[in-house]
Amino acid sequence: MPKGTAYRLVWSPARCVYELSEHPSKQVLPVIPGSDEWFAWVATVPSFAFHSQAGQLTVRQESRPRGSTYWYASRRIGGKMTKRYLGRTGELSIARLEEIATLLSQAQTSFFQELEDETGKNGFSHRAGAEASGTAVDTPTIPPPKVHTHRDPLLATKLYLPRPRAQLVPRSHLIERLQQGMEHALTLISAPAGFGKTTLLVQWLAESSMPSAWLSLDSEENEPRRFFSYLLAALRTLYPPLGSVVQALLEAPQDVSMERVLTFLVNDILKHVTGTFALVLDDYHVIENAAIHRGMSFLLEHAPPQMHVVIATRVDPSFPLVRLRARNQLTEIRTADLRFTADEADIFLRTLMGIDLPLPAFAALEHRTEGWIAGLQFAALSLQGRSDVSAFLHAFTGSHRFVLDYLTEEVFSRQPAEVQSFLLSTAILERLSGPLCDAVTGQTESQARLAFLDEANLFLVPLDDERHWYRYHHLFAEALLTRLQ
């Protein structure tokens, strides 16, 4: 190495690569970090500067008395040099450098925040005090610390697969479709409440013994860092060594691009995971944050071949489903697929619930529930111990307390006020179309509203392939009428 030559490894945002260059000549070296040439080059130099999005480091090689050498990273924090151990030459990867850069950046931010809190009580800033003492001040490059909800503890029970029920209706055709879907990037199970989405997933994972990472979502996960912290925690239930750099980036006080975080995650999976596995996200409909949808779209677009994403939701997510469908990377299981057939309904009532109905009564109940599993469950619970089956079936409508309470709590009350108003106004119609709903509601965008209800799986049944005409599910329409009255 010529005298006076220094080296810099710098992240280039324009090219999205790390560039190694000599200084002062600024000549870029044809060395790719992480390659064999990289480790060979590292072994020949005593030090270099590392410039990443998380901060800057000086990276030096130090010798031990017995002749072994190790690498350390250093950064000046509050006038003192802070060092962190990096490892041997063979461990000097980009992931390791990024991890330590993030940790030292956190330490610097925490130092100045503590100093700000302390000196602020005395009426002057840490910058003014530092300037007065002659200490170098580089705080303009450090963004102010932020409080993120992902720092809250993660609830471990969200990462556990629900316990399978002792008795289930066999659904081999759907199990087979889920298994075949492992060849694609995404399996989407989209249907209204009460159609057995979660039960089907648990049944499939129990029967197939497919390695899986499970995450049950709720509305608190609508913050990107918290969401992806949970996603990483789910993956770590299968592969604990995954994502050390990802975790550090998610916990960093600075803003960080989720695409960058997910790039590290994808690369980590490619490097450490050999077998196929499923990442299951249950109740994804609670996620409304567009940044999370963009992050998941990025993850699906660049998904490693080992990982297959399975999403159960009441509402289609804001993903590029059309593109995935065109590329044959999407398996879809929807309401029509999840409805109980006559045979499945018979097994459910007779075998699981112990209810033996006369054929006319069974046909009437099947017609009324339209294969809605929760509806059959409510009817079966109400029928136990009753002898007046005919009278019950006559009274089993959307106004039945079990049905009404469920549809009100799980469906109707979760809708915005304008959607609730539209549902109640149009509940009087046996068939719905855009112009007809316009006439009833006095609005002018009813066709778009019907399309929204259809996409949101709000118990709307299309009556033609062009989706001009619809009707509400029988029990849902009766529940709406009861509420309207």
Are 308 and 348 within one domain?
no
With cut-offs at 50, 70 and 90, classify the pLDDT of residue 128.
Answer: very low
Are 84 and 214 within one domain?
no
Q: Is the pLDDT of residue 82 over 60?
A: yes
86-95, 272-281, 386-395: segment of lowest average pLDDT: 386-395
Whose tokens are 């089993």? That residue is 396
With cut-offs at 50, 70 and 90, classify the pLDDT of residue 126.
Answer: very low
Structure confidence at residue 166 (pLDDT): 67
Q: Is the pLDDT of residue 172 over 80?
A: yes
Whose tokens are 């989405």? That residue is 197
For a pLDDT cut of 70, what percent of the chain falls above it? 85
Q: At what angle do helices 373-383 and 359-369 cross, to 10 degrees?
A: 140
With cut-offs at 50, 70 and 90, classify the pLDDT of residue 426.
Answer: very high
Q: Is residue 1 part of a domain?
A: no
Let me know: does 470 contact 462? Beta carbons within 8 Å: yes
Structure confidence at residue 190 (pLDDT): 93
The CATH number of the domain holding residue 330 is: 3.40.50.300
Structure confidence at residue 144 (pLDDT): 33
Q: How far apart are CA 236 and CA 238, in angstroms?
A: 5
Q: Is residue 22 part of a domain?
A: yes
Are 260 and 310 within one domain?
yes
Of 289, 317, 338, the residue that ends a domain is 338
Of 99, 120, 141, the residue that ends a domain is 120
Of 254, 248, 250, nearest to 227 by C-alpha is: 250
Are 357 and 422 within one domain?
no
Structure confidence at residue 300 (pLDDT): 94
Q: Is residue 280 part of a domain?
A: yes
Q: Is the pLDDT of residue 44 over 60?
A: yes
Domain count, the chain: 4
Q: How far apart are CA 259 and CA 298, in angstroms?
A: 7
Q: Is residue 474 part of a domain?
A: yes
Let me know: does 223 contact 150? Beta carbons within 8 Å: yes
With cut-offs at 50, 70 and 90, classify the pLDDT of residue 110.
Answer: low
Q: Is the pLDDT of residue 143 over 50?
A: no
Q: Is residue 141 part of a domain?
A: no
- Of 297 and 107, more confident: 297
107-116, 148-157, 341-350, 471-480: segment of lowest average pLDDT: 107-116
Q: Which structural domain, as residue segments, surrounds residue 156? A: 151-338
Q: Is the pLDDT of residue 260 over 80?
A: yes
Q: Across the chain, what does the average pLDDT equal? A: 81
Q: Is the pLDDT of residue 353 over 50?
A: yes
Mean pLDDT of 50-59: 81
Structure confidence at residue 269 (pLDDT): 92
Q: Are strands 307-313 and 186-190 parallel, antiparallel or unpaired?
A: parallel
Are 319 and 365 within one domain?
no
* Helix, strand, or coil (residue 187): strand
Mean pLDDT of 272-299: 93
129-138, 149-158, 438-447: segment of lowest average pLDDT: 129-138
Q: Is residue 144 part of a domain?
A: no
Are 385 and 417 within one domain?
no
Q: Is residue 190 part of a domain?
A: yes
Are 246 and 291 within one domain?
yes
Q: Is residue 383 part of a domain?
A: yes
Kind and range of the H or E element at 443?
none
Are 182 and 315 within one domain?
yes
Of 370, 396, 422, the residue that ends a domain is 396
Are 382 and 477 within one domain?
no
Mean pLDDT of 435-460: 86
Q: Is the pLDDT of residue 215 over 90?
A: yes
Are 158 and 297 within one domain?
yes
Mean pLDDT of 364-390: 76
Mean pLDDT of 198-222: 91
Are 43 and 89 within one domain?
yes
Q: How far apart are CA 58 and CA 50, in angstroms?
A: 6
Most confident range (mean pLDDT) of 42-46, 432-436, 464-468, 469-473 is 432-436
With cut-offs at 50, 70 and 90, classify the pLDDT of residue 189.
Answer: very high
Q: Is the pLDDT of residue 119 over 70?
A: no
Are 322 and 352 within one domain?
no
With cut-offs at 50, 70 and 90, classify the pLDDT of residue 115.
Answer: low
Structure confidence at residue 385 (pLDDT): 61
